[in-house]
Structure 1
Amino acid sequence: MTAKREPISRRERPAKPALTRRGIVDAAVRVMRSEGLEKVTMRRLAQELDTGPASLYVYVANTAELHAAVLDALLGEVDLPAENAASGWRDQLVAVLTSYTHLLFEHPQLARSALVARPGGANYLDLVERLLLLLSRSGAPREQVAWGVDNLLQYATATAAEHGTQERDPLSQDDWDALAHAVHGVDDAEHPMIKAHLPALLAGTQDARLSWGFDVVINGIIHTPLPEPAA
């Protein structure tokens, strides 16, 4: 005679962890790292967290807010070193911005998302706080510093979105070679300015151009007053 199987009570099943915004964002970061940002959807996260998509909307309003939260989580990896008296404010400012840009190089889809959706979490606020502190050391008026930080982040984010995408495109080197061939082969009479600015037009490493670009934006912030209010 076969022994009767003991029923398993539902109470003995391990309980699922309670949903939290932090847990949802952590799961989104895991999915992004393994599958890419395009897979970070409410449906995919619901599957990851063994729940229904509707449950997630209690904590995150939409996908755009979710992507902004993912970006804020990653911004915790930006290098915000302790202030160094041996290093000038400009060098420290460029170092922080370079760290931010290199982080986004690793996630170009997130960089493109950041162009239209800014995070508002603790890590983003820490980054803005440090940028304001360092830029204010230039002696520029407070208003120029306040507006200038936005320009610095826009330049860094756009650069990461462009170059990060190109680095992951298997055809990008072919595109670059075709561009270089076209530029170097221009006719002097038809495109004299292009010819006159070679080889500098395509010269320089990515890091050199990035650093120079930051200097250009910083110098513009320092020396360009805000427009007068309209009468």
Structure 2
Amino acid sequence: MPVDPKQRRAARHAQPAADPAQPPRKAPITVERITDAALEVVATQGYDALTMRSVAAVLDTGPASLYAHVVNKADIDELIIGRLCSQLVLPEPDPSRWREQIVDVCGQIRDQYLKYPGISHAALAMVSTNLDVLRVNEGMLSILLAGGIAPQTAAWAIDALSLYVSAYTLEKSLVSQRQTDADADWVMSQEELVRRFAALPPAQFPTTIRHARELTSGHGHDRFDFTLDLLIDNLQRR
């Protein structure tokens, strides 16, 4: 007896029933999934825990499975920094607002790095060919050139700014990590630092004692903003 066309259509659209005897298939390993897993490791355990083995563990596979998609740990470093760079919003360079624009881009990089403890370590000493990383370099260079900065000065300024953002966020991450340790009592507050500076031998440290408040001042990203201003203000002088 011929099957009713409506039944054939319904059968064609129906989801096949899962075979209880067959375990569910694992999702295939891809570069995107490796990057996701690497960021998960850093977000939950910190950058120091990022290894080929720890990434493979998140993906429920062995490290050997990753080598079909990435070269090594340094390759993963470039991928995760590239992923963070892809989240940045780059402005159309405006000669009248170039200082504000370059500060904003640096602030975006800072905020992305601070989401993942210690991840800026991956950006240090990296000469990247990742397109997302190069997109950010292109954007920063275009902003500085639009501001009238000489090409050589602009090129080295990008390096200096990137290095400072990486170092700043790495230090922030290290301090945050130490504050969560069981023996974190030795991480001192500003008031405790002022008290200890004030207790120094006056004959040896008169200037430190006199300016203890200034030496320990700053909240939030005050020091970050100060240093960016210091760097940027000197670009046009060159």
TM superposition score normalised by structure 2: 0.76
Deviations 1:137-182 (A, max 9, x none): 2312111101110000001110111122213322277424543322
Unaligned runs of 5+ in 1: 1-7, 225-231
State how far apart, in whole Å, the 2-side matches of 1:223 and 1:62 are.
43
- 1:207 and 2:207 aligned: no
Among 153, 177, 196, the residue aligned to 1:182: 196
TM superposition score normalised by structure 1: 0.78
2:236 counterpart SS class: helix
Among 53, 61, 68, the residue aligned to 2:63: 53
Q: How does 1:1-231 map to 2 (within 5 A)?
A: 15-78=25-88, 80-83=89-92, 88-117=97-126, 119-170=128-179, 171=184, 174-177=187-190, 178-224=192-238
Contact 1:25 1:70 in 2 (8 A): yes
Which has the larger displacement, 134-143 or 108-117? Answer: 108-117
Specify the alignment match of 1:3 in structure 2.
none
1:175 counterpart SS class: coil
Between Structure 1 and Structure 2, how many residues are aligned?
215
Contact 2:46 2:119 in 1 (8 A): no
Identity, % of aligned positions: 27
Deviations 1:180-212 (A, max 9, x none): 322233344322332343432222223222111
Specify the alignment match of 2:7 in structure 1.
none
Unaligned runs of 5+ in 2: 1-18
State how far apart, in whole Å, the 2-side matches of 1:105 and 1:197 are.
30
Which has the larger displacement, 208-217 or 146-155? Answer: 208-217
Q: 1:155 to 1:71 in 2, by over 3 A?
A: same
2:224 counterpart SS class: helix
State how far apart, in whole Å, the 2-side matches of 1:151 and 1:101 are.
14
Give the greater-gyration-radius structure (CA): 2
- TM-aligned CA deviation for residue 9 of structure 1: 11
Q: 1:49 to 1:106 in 2, by over 3 A?
A: closer
Contact 2:124 2:163 in 1 (8 A): yes
